[in-house]
Amino acid sequence: MLSRRFTLILAIIAIMAGSMAAIHLSNKDLGVIFGTTSEPAGSLLYSDFELSDVEELIIQKGGSDQTRFVKRQGVWQMITPVRDRADYAILQTIIYAARHLRIEDSFKSRAITEEESGMRASASNAGPYQITLKRGGGQLLADFTVGRRSAWHRLDEEDGHLHETFFVKPREKSLDDHVYVCSSPKKVPFNIRRILDRGLSRLRDHHPVLIDQKSISGIRIRSEGREIMLSRSPDQSSVWRMMKPLETRTKPAMVNGLIVGLSQMRAIRIHERKSITIPPRPPGAFLLQLELTSKGSGTGQSSSSTILTIEPPAPPEADTVLATSEERPGLVFELPRNPVAGGISLAQLPLKVDQLRDRTLADFEISALRSMTIHQSTRSSSIHVFLGKDRTGRPRWTLQEKNQVSPANEARVAKVLASLTRDEVVGFASNAAANLSRYGLSPPTKRILLELKQGEPVDIIFGRSPEGRCFAMRQGTSTVAEISPASYTSIAAEVYQWQDSLLMPFSIVDLSAMKIEHFPISVPLGDPALTLKYKFLSEEWSARQYEEDVTPALNKHRANQLLKFMEELRVEQWLNPASPAAARALRSPSFRLTAIFQELDEEGELKGFRESSFELAAASSSPRNRIFYGKVTGNPNYFVIGSEAYSSLKSSLLDTADP
């Protein structure tokens, strides 16, 4: 018979086993009794919620310094210690970092002191931060304490970056048996501790205005008694135009830069209106006032405006200025006046007329251009370039001068269009010019008229002042712009400048023979010129040099390459027929190529031969010379080619020593 003591022991054991079973059934583990196991290294401390789930964030330092944020209609609001808009980007960064805390190591809570982990303030540690994330209904998502930074760094094997680590102690009962060493995710370049150590006041939105960049339809800038007004249609597809002080096109990059700059500009400090005195000034004597008008997103929504008023600097050389915003009337923002590292200052915003207006002479779609007509004061006839068709029916720019039509120099067309639509003017000489003669525009030396598929023609006149400066003015406006000499000369007004850049018509099909000569002649005996005969149908070559047959030595591959090169050879520039430098150089040419082509009648019978030739000479005797002058027989104009094209022409076609 069992003793009463033994029976009591069995009963106690049974009660303990039953209690453990009940705890296991209710909690799924026995951590309440024996303590929980740590989460494995490399895993995330929190992984069971999404960023969009977080609608409340509480950050507390010490026993009483608590800051609470609530998301309302997608905007984070600070609820305590003051009601104000929160900095959305910083709060989202904190939430993202909390959601992606990576565990690097762990300790039992009793194995490390609170001073060692930074869970208690000390002489070297300002104290921990408690971070709590909740859903909208108050459901807890994450609750942990951030201690001090640790000395250990995690090496990113992909890019070699060292990630800082810091101590984290979860406050949930299922995790609070351990202290973890964690690192921030790769997208966050610094850890949570660094963000929080800047001060919880920085979590307050330091942007003086909240801008939806896509919805802005109007900008008004007032300064020094002057006003600039920019406007665009609410459909967002239209371009910005300057409406005041003059109606003109704007430079999209500058207007967008102004909007982005205003959206990114942050105050250095925020003051409560009642805690700071703004120096008195006369009405309207502010340093700058910006009014942004936004169109409502919904149908029938009315426009809304935001006004930012910036006070004069006090003292005048101060690096910061005070500003007030109608959005947050109870605050005064201290904005950087001069450039600051890592931020946007007032000095960096484009706020002047000449910064915001378009600085090109014209703005139109190149595909809409149908023709251009160039007039020069010294010529009685104009140059007309229009979009025609080549032999295959493809669109091609065509030159018409008097009654003659020929292919136009398409590189010249591109250069003219670039000077009009891409090159920026040097400056604006006058917005209301009355005396055009001082700019050389009455009468103008050049004029270009561009016909478009739709809309009014673009009519621009050009001139040179007595001092030699270049100016242009678009007809129908009173604005005179100073342009660079390069832009002025790019509006070519001579016929030879518009000549097709193709050196000469070179038909492989009709080619009968070629003669290649190199100068000076170094061999006194015989003719060193290489004479080639070619049959297109059979692709047969024959070659003679020094009155001998050198066909076996002819490299037919290089000969065929030369034919293809000659078909596409283009000059870099056509020169005036009176060019003295080209004429002087070509007195002693270094290369001559002569080609003979068959000419067939309408029935395909041979009716004769046509001969074309050109000569080349170096522009200088320097070994570094890169320019070569040339002239085609029968063409009065000289031309220029580069050293690469010259080398291709000079290459030997024989597999023997160079001539």
The pLDDT tens digits of the residues spanning 69-108 come to: 999 888 899 998 989 999 998 999 999 999 999 999 999 9
Domain that holds residue 26: 4-31
pLDDT, residue 61, reads 87
Verify that 415 and 515 share a domain, yes or no.
no
137 and 254 in a common domain:
no
Q: How far apart are CA 401 and CA 381, in angstroms?
A: 8
Q: Does residue 527 sit within a domain?
A: yes
Residue 525 is predicted with a pLDDT of 60
Q: How far from 326 is each of 80, 201, 602, 644, CA to CA, in Å? A: 22, 21, 84, 65
| 637 contacts 574 by C-beta, under 8 angstroms | yes
Q: Are residues 131 and 265 in the same domain?
A: no
Q: Are residues 351 and 371 in the same domain?
A: no
**Residue 315 preceded by cis peptide, ω within 30:** yes
CA–CA dist 247, 229 (Å, integer):
9
**Whose CA is closest to 460, among 431, 491, 424, 439?**
491
Q: Which of 224, 211, 232 has the alpha carbon at shortest distance from 305?
A: 211
pLDDT at 241: 93
Residues 6+ apart with CB under 8 A from 629: 575, 579, 581, 582, 585, 586, 616, 617, 618, 619, 638, 639, 640
Nearest-angstrom CA–CA distance, 445 and 428: 19
Q: Is residue 603 part of a domain?
A: yes
Q: Are 499 and 637 in contact (CB under 8 A)?
A: yes
Please state, in angstroms and rounded to a whole number, the distance separating the CA atoms of residues 520 and 623.
Answer: 17
In a domain, 504, yes or no: no
Q: Could you tell me if residue 488 is inside a domain?
A: yes
Q: In what order do the strands lie in the sheet with 288-294?
A: 248-249, 241-244, 226-231, 216-223, 288-294, 304-310, 320-325, 331-336, 269-272
280 and 316, same domain (yes or no): yes
Amino acid found at 636: P
Pairing of strands 226-231, 84-85: unpaired
Q: In what order do the strands lie in the sheet with 540-545?
A: 548-549, 540-545, 530-535, 511-518, 591-600, 606-618, 627-632, 638-642, 573-575
Query: What end-to-end distance do the CA atoms of the chain give, in Å?
Result: 129
Per-residue pLDDT, 225:
87
**Cα 60 to chain center, whole Å?**
42
Same domain for 71 and 25?
no
Q: Are residues 133 and 264 in the same domain?
A: no
Q: Are residues 194 and 335 in the same domain?
A: no
Assess whether 352 and 370 both reside in one domain.
Answer: no
Do 637 and 527 lie in a common domain? yes
Pick from 234, 254, 208: nearest CA to 87: 208
Out of 498, 531, 547, pick the residue that ends a domain: 498
Same domain, 442 and 298: no
Residue 611 belongs to a domain with what CATH number? 2.60.40
505 within some domain = no
Domain count, the chain: 5
Residue 166 one-letter amino acid: F
* 239 and 345 belong to one structural domain: yes
Quote the Cα angle for 483-484-487, to 5°. 85
Residue at a domain's end among 465, 498, 531: 498
The answer as to whether 36 is a domain residue is no
Does a structural domain hold residue 45? no
pLDDT at 604: 74
Q: Which residues contact 492 (CB under 8 A, 6 or more apart)?
A: 374, 412, 415, 416, 498
Residue 42 lies in a domain: no
Distances in Å between the alpha carbon of 440 and those of 129, 377, 473, 482, 603?
Answer: 72, 12, 11, 11, 58
pLDDT at site 30: 40
Answer yes or no: pTM beyond 0.75. Answer: no
List strand residue ranges (DSSP E) for 6-124, in order.
56-61, 65-72, 75-80, 84-85, 102-108
Give the residue ranges of the chain where pLDDT is below 50: 1, 23-25, 27-35, 658-659
Which residue among 470, 498, 526 closes a domain? 498
Pairing assessment for the beta strands 458-464 and 446-452 based on DSSP bridges: antiparallel
